């Protein structure tokens, strides 16, 4: 049988892998290939936390391939040249891959496809990432959406179930002559074990993704809508990094949710599917407005009066030492686990872009380096939304009050107590705004900042004044 290269990227799974399935169905013996090429990712090469996850996910994929009689061929270099070398060495007659949608990689992939097809080589790209392609959803006027709700309605009205494909039980052996590098040689894993806390929470790889989905359906799905905003408990799916690295297909997630549907779970399932469509919306925006990974979607804010990124204040925010407990709890959770609860992401983002009035890119870059689920589309959408500069960001002038947010969503201060343990000795009511009880703070939490790095009232007023100037 003829051979075909199957180029793995952010689709690190064997089940429901359209490129792999297409190669098999068209009669090719697949040769799995991985090419780390961060220099081709533009300004958004993967961050340290993403690389730590990718290291383990690649090892999991390699193990799964070995179990089926195949192996992953890893080569470093320019993607185009590595693929050409592999085609010559393997005698492959076709190349299959699953699409990436980032502004830097789309033109690269298009150029590779065009060049190889011009030489008569078969090249096919597939969709392994999204429920719908970004270009398949249009407004009635034929343009892209900038508001989520009509986008959501359009997607749901046209959404059709996709076929599910279990991982092949066996795969053809890759010829011994086709050499590759060891995953350990890629330098993705941290030299120092600063990521050790991640793996108390996460299991990268396809098996870990399916286990996370099963755990969610059996547990947190019940009451999801009521509890998803409460950071002191596991009330979300924990699927975001698995989806980003393509360890599970979004359509399989929906299929399993639908299989668990009962009258009692209807609203929770529908609420979670709505969150999946937010992910689709992020990719829709990134495809149609690729400049927004660096620039405001709304040009009204191009002249906005951002404050300079004062190193001391930015570092205090990054390290969870702002003096605002819910903000510090979120930033410390991020550092320890590689993730942050979504409600808290909004709070810390609002604090940075509104109270400190630093450019949303400062936050986007930090999240990019520290999140295991760092996804360019989602990261851009989230930071532009909270900064007021992006799609569906009304009211753009909303400023989250971190104290009242903590009181509402962490009423017993358990989340604060977990991640800011120096405040545990304080009475619960004091933990939300400890600077208001200076003597207790001095006596019971002497290592915690005496005051926030910005006065919350003054910071809010300054933000509103700056937003008033955008009109």
Query: Is 429 found in the same domain as 313?
Result: yes
Where among 288, 310, 343 does a domain terminate? 288
Q: What is the pLDDT of residue 95?
A: 98
pLDDT of residue 4: 98
pLDDT in tens, 337-366: 999 999 999 999 999 999 999 999 999 999
Residue 90 lies inside a defined structural domain of this protein = yes
Q: What is the pLDDT of residue 67?
A: 98
**117 vs 123: CA distance, rounded Å:** 7
Cα–Cα distance between 468 and 278 in angstroms, integer?
29
Percent of the residues in the chain that have a pLDDT greater than 70, as a whole number: 99
Find all residues with CB under 8 Å of 414, minimum gap 6, and list them: 232
**Within this chain, do residues 280 and 396 fall inside the same structural domain, yes or no?**
no
Strands (E), 240-321: none
Please check whether residue 234 lies inside any domain of the structure: yes
Same domain for 121 and 143: no
Task: Say yes or no to pLDDT of 134 above 80.
Answer: yes
The answer on 107 and 52 residing in a single domain is: yes
Look at residue 185 and tell me if it is in a domain: no
Summarize pLDDT for 393-452 with one digit per residue, the tens. 667 788 999 999 999 999 999 999 999 999 999 999 999 999 999 999 999 999 999 999
User: Is there a single domain that holds both residue 87 and residue 234?
Assistant: no
Do 196 and 92 contact (CB within 8 A), yes or no?
no
Let me know whether 268 and 152 are in one domain.
yes
pTM over 0.75: yes
Residues 141 and 124 both lie in one domain:
no
3-class secondary structure, 217: helix
pLDDT over 90 at 238, yes or no: yes
Q: Is the pLDDT of residue 192 over 90?
A: no
Total number of domains in the chain: 3
For residue 352, which of 383, 396, 390 has the smallest C-alpha distance?
Answer: 383
Is beta strand 73-74 parallel, antiparallel or unpaired with respect to 122-126? unpaired
pLDDT tens digits, 97-108: 999 999 999 999
In CATH, what number is assigned to the domain containing residue 210?
Answer: 1.25.40.80
Largest Cα–Cα distance of the chain, in whole Å? 78
Please write the tens of the pLDDT for every residue from 75-86.
Answer: 999 999 999 999
Of 255, 288, 321, the residue that ends a domain is 288
The pLDDT confidence band at residue 271, using thresholds 50, 70 and 90, is very high
Residues 110 and 137 in one domain: no
Mean per-residue pLDDT, 222-238: 96
Tokens of 109: 């992939």
With respect to residue 200, please indicate whether it lies within any of the assigned structural domains: no
**Domain containing 334 — which CATH number?**
1.10.579.10
pLDDT at residue 471 is higher than 70: no
pLDDT tens digits, residue range 195-206?
A: 999 999 999 999
At residue 395, the pLDDT reads 75
- Residue 243, pLDDT above cutoff 80: yes
CATH number of the domain that residue 58 is part of: 3.40.50.620
Amino acid 397: pLDDT: 81
Sign of the four-CA dihedral 219, 221, 225, 229: positive
Dihedrals φ, ψ of 189, to 5°?
-75, 140
pLDDT in tens, 11-25: 999 999 999 999 999
The Cα 414–Cα 418 span in angstroms is 6
C-alpha to C-alpha distance for 463 and 455, rounded to whole angstroms: 12
The pair of structure tokens assigned to 169 is 């039980």
Distance CA 319, CA 163 (A): 45
399 assigned to some structural domain: yes
For residues 384 and 254, state if they share a domain.
no
Is 237 domain-assigned? Answer: yes
Let me know if residue 175 belongs to a domain.
Answer: no
Give per-residue pLDDT as tens, 294-318: 999 999 999 999 999 999 999 999 9
Q: Which residue, of 265, 288, 311, is where some domain finishes?
A: 288
Full domain range(s) for residue 101: 3-128
On whether both 234 and 284 belong to a single domain, the answer is: yes
37-53 average pLDDT score: 97
366 located within any domain: yes
Q: How many CB atoms lie within 10 A of CB 282?
A: 25
For the range 381-384, what are the long-range contacts, defined as Cβ-Cβ under 8 Å and sequence gap of 24 or more? Answer: 381/278, 381/281, 381/282, 381/285, 381/286, 382/282, 382/345, 382/349, 383/349, 383/353, 384/292, 384/296, 384/297, 384/360
b or e along 72-103 (b: 16 or more beta carbons within 10 Å of the residue's beta carbon)?
bbbbeeebbebbbebbeebebebbbbbbbbbb
pLDDT at 394: 64
Q: How far is CA 56 from CA 205, 242, 289, 471, in A?
A: 7, 12, 32, 48
Q: Are residues 216 and 328 in the same domain?
A: no
Element at 71 (helix H, strand E): none
- Same domain for 242 and 258, yes or no, is yes
The tens digit of pLDDT for each residue in 447-465 reads 999 999 999 999 999 999 9
Task: Give the pLDDT mean for 136-155.
Answer: 97
Q: What is the mean predicted confidence (pLDDT) over 230-236? A: 96
């Amino acid at each position: 049988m003829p051979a075909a290269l199957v180029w793995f990227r952010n689709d690190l799974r064997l089940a429901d892998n359209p490129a792999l399935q297409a190669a098999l169905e068209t009669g090719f013996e697949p040769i799995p290939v991985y090419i780390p090429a961060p220099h081709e990712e533009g300004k958004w090469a993967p961050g340290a936390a993403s690389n730590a996850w990718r290291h383990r996910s690649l090892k999991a994929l390699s193990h799964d391939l070995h179990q089926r009689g195949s192996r992953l061929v890893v080569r470093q270099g320019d993607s185009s040249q590595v693929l050409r070398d592999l085609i010559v060495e393997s005698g492959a007659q076709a190349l299959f891959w699953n699409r990436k949608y980032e502004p830097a990689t789309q033109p690269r992939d298009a150029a590779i496809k065009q060049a190889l097809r011009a030489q008569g080589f078969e090249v096919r790209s597939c969709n392994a990432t999204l429920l719908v392609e970004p270009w398949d959803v249009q407004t009635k006027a034929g343009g892209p959406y900038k508001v989520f709700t009509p986008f959501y309605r359009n997607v749901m009205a046209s959404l059709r179930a996709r076929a599910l494909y279990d991982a092949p039980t066996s795969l053809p052996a890759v010829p011994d002559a086709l050499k590759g590098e060891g995953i350990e040689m890629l330098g993705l894993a941290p030299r120092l074990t600063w990521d050790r806390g991640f793996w108390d929470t996460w299991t990268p790889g396809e098996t870990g993704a399916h286990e996370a989905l099963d755990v969610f359906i059996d547990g947190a799905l019940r009451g999801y809508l009521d509890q998803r905003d409460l950071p002191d408990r596991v009330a979300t799916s924990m699927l975001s990094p698995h989806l980003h690295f393509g360890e599970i297909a979004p359509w399989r997630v929906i299929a399993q949710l639908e299989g668990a549907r009962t009258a009692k779970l209807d609203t929770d399932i529908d609420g979670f599917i709505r969150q999946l469509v937010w992910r689709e919306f992020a990719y829709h925006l990134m495809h149609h407005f690729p400049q927004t990974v660096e620039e405001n979607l709304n040009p009204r804010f191009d002249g906005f009066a951002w404050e300079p990124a004062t190193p001391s204040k930015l570092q205090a925010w990054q390290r969870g030492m702002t003096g605002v407990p819910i903000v510090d709890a979120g930033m410390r959770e991020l550092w320890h686990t590689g993730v942050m609860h979504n409600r808290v992401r909004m709070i810390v983002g609002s604090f940075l872009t509104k109270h400190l009035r630093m450019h949303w890119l400062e936050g986007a870059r930090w999240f990019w380096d520290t999140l295991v689920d760092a996804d360019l589309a989602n990261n851009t959408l989230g930071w532009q939304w909270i900064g007021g500069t992006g799609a569906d960001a009304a009211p753009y002038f909303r400023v989250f009050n971190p104290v009242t947010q903590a009181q509402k969503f962490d009423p017993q201060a358990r989340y604060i107590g977990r991640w800011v343990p120096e405040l545990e000795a304080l009475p619960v009511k004091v933990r939300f705004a400890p600077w208001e009880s200076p003597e207790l703070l001095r006596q019971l939490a002497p290592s915690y900042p005496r005051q926030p790095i910005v006065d919350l009232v003054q910071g809010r007023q300054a933000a509103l004044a700056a937003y008033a100037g955008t009109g």
